[in-house]
């Protein structure tokens, strides 16, 4: 059972020597800092009723255990949205020993807004001035020492995706945490008229001596109350001594609105933005360049419809070719190595110790399950994760979002939705979690439904391991075209039947960057390792279960009830229905368990074993059905968490019905036209 966020943070504090809160906007490289520092060994927690997660992990430095709280990426702290509320509550509840704020050196003024908010809260802070390599190439020069003196906090230049500066960053954060002191006085203040009112309310809070829930500086409380922060007004309303202060704050808010013609919260936000701009002007110089650098030119090419569309098709084609040829080569090498060096000694050892009987044969199924994972799932998943990491680190996925914005509106979404949809080709679970970037429930339902229809890496392994391997790349390409047609048809239909309209696209645009090989390989390895740890145990257990059913001659009995749909409508062997059901655990299990069954049926040394129990047309239908129906149990859980169980159940039922209908129609077309004979 997952702990609540407050309990999880308290436990992390108790288990470590000190804690660091990691903050920053969603696109500043904060996740790279967190992943490199912690090795991505992450635990997540939610506040009750909130879908935005806080990630937590530990690392060590000089023999000390450090807890790291990764706050949600956001552009500000407040109570106006879930991500802002959780970010602020995470730091207030967590009471970290130091806050590490990751700041984009290329958009310093915008990023300093949240820095100023953290300074107001009074937490010790270290700033990671990130993406310095791009800033230098763009002719930006930042006086780090002056900025540090102005803000009163240490600043460490970093290039997170390469790991540059992170050792110094964590060491500086550790020194700041051990010192246990508040930030040095910062040279920051608002305009005179607003500053006078802040000082008046600060003095009233100090004079009253009233306790507050989080022991914040009096200036921080004054600003929160002047902004009209409903969260803090509600918290203090019932506490002794606060009512006169709240009345004074209400009067001052009314005065600001009368004098400036806008709500007090808006005025103070404007003051904070103006201050961030003034500080940036003082510490940053920008060299005017006559020629755009390569990254900017590539951004222009990939975002203009005339050039961006063909480039996108080329990128997708390269992914397809790499998956087919590289994945196929890896699968062949692994299969040959397993058959030559690993399986024979294991089979001989089982025969010599327990003899050739039902028990030893059942154990051999587990061995066959490992072989299925090595030769079907792992090669294609590994290649895809490597390609996905490359596309992420170049920034190409951002340009795809911009390019596809107008197209996505036809599906009731905007361009930002393309990022979780594309990520769904790796794994549907984090992609569904990524729908939190969408602002309405309508958009999240639409995106969640479309994401589960995107072939994830596990379903890609099924397509390439069954169709491309046995029937050729042309058949696999046709299958993908069918899936695209289904995806587009479902998206257009849902947008028609669901009430509402899409919102506009609001996101930061970044030029292309040169990816760092070490970071790409590290990201690929962590994702691949998580996949192996999750898939292989399930596969071994599933193989043992399937083996026991086979040796006890129960498979045919259990296949009977599925026969009308599986055999009669879709034209598949009845046993394929069982593997489709077990595929709900993880999609690649459907094919891998079928491979295991074929290996046992055909005996050792048979090269094209699947063709002994299914023809090419049946393999095509099998892969098509597998690619459409609900991806896996983890995806169902993610849908339920993000959309609730009722909506998740409707989506699950819809995709199962859709898969059965499309699979049956495909079978009849193949049979009637005599295709894939």
Decide if pLDDT at 440 tops 50: yes
Cβ count within 10 A of residue 410:
12
- State the pLDDT at residue 571: 92
Question: Is-above-0.85 flag for pTM?
Answer: no
Decide if pLDDT at 508 tops 70: no
Residues 199-217 have pLDDT tens digits of 999 999 988 887 777 888 8
- And the tokens for 136? 């230098």
C-alpha to C-alpha distance for 659 and 448, rounded to whole angstroms: 17
Cβ–Cβ under 8 Å, residues 436 and 641: no
Name the pairing type of β-strands 18-24 and 64-70. parallel
Q: What is the DSSP letter of 4?
A: B
> Using alpha carbons only, what angle is made at residue 32 by residues 26 and 34, rounded to the nearest 5 degrees?
95
Output the CA–CA distances (angstroms, integers) from residue 379 to 323, 326, 522, 607, in the order listed: 9, 8, 17, 18
Choose among 226, 224, 222, 218: nearest CA to 255.
226
Q: Name the least confident of 143-147, 244-248, 600-604.
A: 600-604
- And the tokens for 513? 């960057």
Please tell me if the domain spanning 5-179 has the same topology as the one spanning 192-286.
Answer: no
Most confident of 68-72, 90-94, 346-350, 448-452: 448-452
Cβ–Cβ under 8 Å, residues 177 and 18: yes
Decide if pLDDT at 598 tops 90: no
- And the tokens for 242? 């606060």
- State the pLDDT at residue 665: 95
Residue 478 pLDDT class (50, 70, 90 cuts): very high
Residue 341 pLDDT class (50, 70, 90 cuts): confident
Q: What is the DSSP letter of 414?
A: -
- The SS3 call for residue 249 is helix
- State the pLDDT at residue 605: 46
As a 3-state breakdown, the chain gives helix, strand, coil percent values, each rounded to 5, of 70, 10, 25
Domain covering 5-179, topology? Rossmann fold (3.40.50)
Question: Taking the domains of the chain in order of start, what are their residue ranges?
Answer: 5-179, 192-286, 303-673
Output the CA–CA distances (angstroms, integers) from residue 488 to 50, 177, 429, 626, 664, in the order listed: 31, 52, 21, 18, 20
Phi and psi dihedrals of 509, rounded to 5?
A: -105, 135
Residue range 192-286 forms a domain whose CATH class is mainly alpha
Residue 607 pLDDT class (50, 70, 90 cuts): very low
Cβ–Cβ under 8 Å, residues 647 and 472: no
Beta strands in 494-632 (DSSP E): none
Phi and psi dihedrals of 242, rounded to 5?
A: -95, -20
């Amino acid at each position: 059972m997952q702990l609540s966020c407050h309990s999880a943070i308290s436990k992390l504090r108790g288990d470590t020597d000190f804690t660091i809160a990691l903050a920053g906007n969603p696109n500043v490289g904060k996740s790279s800092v967190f992943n490199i520092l912690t090795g991505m060994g992450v635990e997540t927690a939610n506040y009750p009723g909130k879908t935005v997660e806080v990630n937590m992990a530990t690392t060590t430095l000089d023999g000390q255990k450090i807890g790291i709280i990764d706050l949600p990426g956001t552009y500000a702290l407040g109570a106006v949205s879930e991500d802002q509320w959780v970010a602020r509550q995470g730091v207030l509840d967590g009471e970290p020993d130091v806050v590490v704020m990751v700041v984009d050196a290329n958009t310093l003024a915008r990023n300093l807004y949240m820095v100023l908010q953290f300074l107001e809260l009074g937490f010790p802070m270290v700033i990671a001035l990130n993406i310095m390599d791009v800033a230098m190439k763009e002719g930006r020069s930042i006086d780090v020492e002056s900025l540090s003196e102005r803000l009163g906090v240490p600043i460490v230049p970093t290039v997170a995706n390469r790991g540059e500066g992170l050792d110094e960053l964590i060491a500086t954060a550790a020194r700041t945490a051990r010192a246990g002191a508040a930030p040095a006085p910062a040279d920051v203040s608002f305009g005179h008229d607003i500053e006078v009112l802040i000082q008046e309310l600060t003095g009233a809070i100090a004079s009253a001596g009233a306790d507050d829930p989080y022991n914040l500086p009096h200036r921080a409380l004054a600003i929160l109350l002047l902004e009209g922060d409903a969260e803090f007004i509600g918290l203090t309303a019932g506490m002794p001594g606060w009512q006169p202060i709240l009345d004074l704050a209400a009067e001052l808010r009314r005065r600001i609105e009368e004098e400036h013609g806008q709500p007090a919260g808006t005025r103070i936000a404007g003051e904070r933005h103006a201050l961030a701009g003034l500080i940036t002007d003082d510490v940053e110089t920008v060299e005017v360049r006559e020629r755009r650098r390569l990254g900017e030119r590539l951004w222009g090419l990939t975002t203009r419809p005339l050039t961006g569309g063909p480039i996108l098709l080329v990128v997708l084609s390269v992914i397809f070719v790499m998956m087919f040829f590289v994945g196929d080569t890896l699968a062949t090498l692994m299969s040959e190595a397993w058959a030559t060096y690993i399986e024979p000694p294991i089979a001989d050892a089982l025969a010599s110790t327990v003899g050739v009987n039902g028990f030893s044969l059942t154990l051999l199924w587990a061995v066959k399950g490992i072989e299925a994972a090595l030769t079907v799932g792992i090669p294609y998943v590994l290649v895809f994760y490597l390609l996905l990491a490359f596309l992420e680190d170049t920034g190409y996925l951002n340009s795809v979002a911009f390019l596809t914005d107008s197209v996505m509106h036809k599906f009731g979404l905007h361009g930002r939705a393309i990022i979780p949809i594309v990520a769904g080709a790796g794994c549907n679970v984090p992609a569904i979690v990524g729908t939190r970037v969408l602002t309405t429930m309508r958009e999240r339902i639409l995106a969640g439904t479309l994401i589960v229809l995107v072939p994830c890496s596990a379903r890609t392994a099924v397509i390439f391991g069954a169709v491309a391997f046995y029937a050729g790349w042309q058949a696999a390409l046709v299958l993908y075209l069918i899936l695209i047609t289904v995806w587009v048809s479902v998206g257009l239909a849902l947008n028609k039947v669901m009430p509402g309209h899409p919102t506009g696209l609001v996101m930061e645009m970044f030029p292309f960057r040169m990816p760092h090989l070490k970071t790409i390989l590290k990201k690929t390895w962590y994702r691949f390792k998580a996949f192996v740890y999750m898939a292989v145990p399930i596969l071994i257990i599933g193989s043992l279960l399937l083996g026991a059913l086979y040796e006890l001659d129960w498979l045919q009995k259990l296949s009977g009830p599925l026969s009308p749909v599986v055999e009669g409508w879709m034209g598949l062997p009845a046993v394929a229905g069982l593997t489709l059901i077990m595929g709900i655990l993880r999609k690649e299990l459907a094919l891998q368990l079928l491979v295991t069954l074929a290996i046992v049926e055909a005996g050792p040394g048979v090269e094209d074993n699947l063709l002994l129990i299914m023809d090419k047309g049946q393999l095509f239908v099998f892969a098509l059905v597998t690619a459409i129906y609900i991806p896996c149990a983890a995806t169902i859980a993610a849908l339920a968490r993000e959309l609730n169980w009722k909506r998740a159940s409707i989506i699950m039922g819809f995709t199962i019905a859709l898969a059965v209908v499309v699979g049956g129609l495909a079978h009849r077309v193949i049979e009637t036209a005599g295709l894939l004979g």
